[in-house]
């Protein structure tokens, strides 16, 4: 299954109009993304909030991730504080995959941002979390926190933004978007054989693991006749007919 390095801002010194700061709200956003990531079968690791950008890059590069997603909010130049709005998604001009993901995010976020014409994907050669990561990387500046309207949009729409970002990741990975449900325990019930754990909800999909009959699994979501499950540290899709819930 896809592995994501999720890197919310650690910049607590950037205040939000109306209260709070960038680190606080980007971590609240990441918190709300977690149930959607689990239900959609996307494994993830979050950055250490006590480390700086260099630490996040090093931690991301120390493992194998398909995507590095940095979550930030922006501020206008000192010469015109509070006068700028918009969502900017930065990508590496040297990676077609980085650009593809940034365009998907920018296009999708228009469905929840109140000024859709002010959302755009922008190439960068200076942002380290985009240019120095091994994984395909984008950095999303989700509005301007020194603008009253943008700060309020961020503060009051965290769940909608979280769902939208995970929808974009699903679009990029080619996965179905699955709304979170109550997490439940299941038990594999086959004829005695192992149950295949697959990368996608299809019998033609790659097998990523095998779950012995009688094993307990954690069920995070369902699409058609497939459950998104975790077993032994692995996440994938398993046929729902062979898992007893409860």
> In this structure, what are the phi and psi dihedrals at residue 213, rounded to the nearest 5 degrees?
-55, 140
Q: What percent of the chain has pLDDT over 70?
A: 100
CATH, residue 227: 2.30.30.40
Please say if the pLDDT value at position 62 is more than 90: yes
Please say if the pLDDT value at position 1 is more than 90: no
Please say if the pLDDT value at position 82 is more than 90: no
Split into its structural domains, the chain has a count of 2
* Token output for 138: 């984008």
Q: Are residues 9 and 111 in the same domain?
A: yes
Q: What is the pLDDT of residues 118-142, one digit of tens each?
A: 999 999 999 999 999 999 999 999 9
Q: Are residues 140 and 52 in the same domain?
A: yes
179 occurs within a structural domain: no
Please say if the pLDDT value at position 175 is more than 90: yes
78 occurs within a structural domain: yes
Closest CA to 82 of 18, 159, 130: 18
Range 169-182 average pLDDT: 95
Q: What is the dihedral of CA 12, 13, 17, 23, to 10 degrees?
A: -20
CA pair distance 222, 161, nearest whole angstrom: 22
CATH, residue 91: 3.40.630.40
Please say if the pLDDT value at position 79 is more than 90: no
* Token output for 189: 């019930």
Range of the domain at 81: 3-173
Q: Are residues 127 and 33 in the same domain?
A: yes
pTM: 0.93
Q: Are residues 107 and 195 in the same domain?
A: no
- Mean pLDDT across the chain: 96
Q: What is the dihedral of CA 150, 151, 155, 157, to 10 degrees?
A: 0
Q: Are residues 119 and 201 in the same domain?
A: no
> Strand 234-239 and strand 226-231: pairing?
antiparallel
CA Rg value for the chain: 19
- The residue among 173, 205, 228 that closes a domain is 173
Q: Are residues 160 and 233 in the same domain?
A: no
Range 34-38 average pLDDT: 96
* Token output for 235: 């996440």
Counting DSSP H helices and E strands in the chain, the numbers are: 6, 13
Contact between residue 197 and residue 188 where contact means Cβ atoms under 8 Å apart: no
């Amino acid at each position: 299954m896809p592995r994501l390095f999720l890197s919310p801002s650690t910049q607590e010194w950037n205040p939000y109009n109306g209260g709070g700061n960038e680190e606080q709200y980007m971590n609240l956003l990441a918190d709300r993304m977690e149930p959607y990531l689990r239900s959609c079968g996307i494994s993830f690791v979050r950055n250490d909030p006590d480390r700086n950008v260099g630490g996040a890059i090093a931690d991301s590069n120390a493992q194998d991730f398909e995507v590095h997603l940095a979550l930030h909010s922006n501020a206008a130049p000192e010469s015109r504080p509070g006068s700028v709005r918009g969502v900017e998604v930065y990508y590496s001009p040297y990676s077609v995959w980085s650009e593809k993901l940034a365009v998907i995010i920018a296009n999708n976020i228009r469905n929840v941002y109140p000024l859709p014409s002010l959302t755009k994907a922008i190439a960068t050669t200076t942002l380290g979390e985009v240019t120095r990561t091994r994984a395909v990387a984008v950095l999303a500046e989700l509005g301007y926190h020194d603008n009253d309207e943008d700060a309020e949009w961020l503060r009051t729409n965290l769940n909608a933004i979280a769902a939208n970002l995970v929808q974009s990741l699903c679009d990029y990975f080619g996965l179905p978007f699955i709304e979170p449900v109550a997490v439940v325990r299941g038990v594999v019930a086959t004829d005695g054989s192992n149950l295949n754990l697959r990368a996608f909800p299809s019998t033609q999909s790659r097998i990523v693991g095998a779950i012995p009959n009688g094993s307990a699994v954690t069920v995070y979501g369902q699409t058609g006749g497939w459950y998104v499950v975790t077993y032994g540290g692995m996440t994938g899709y398993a046929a729902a007919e062979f898992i007893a819930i409860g």
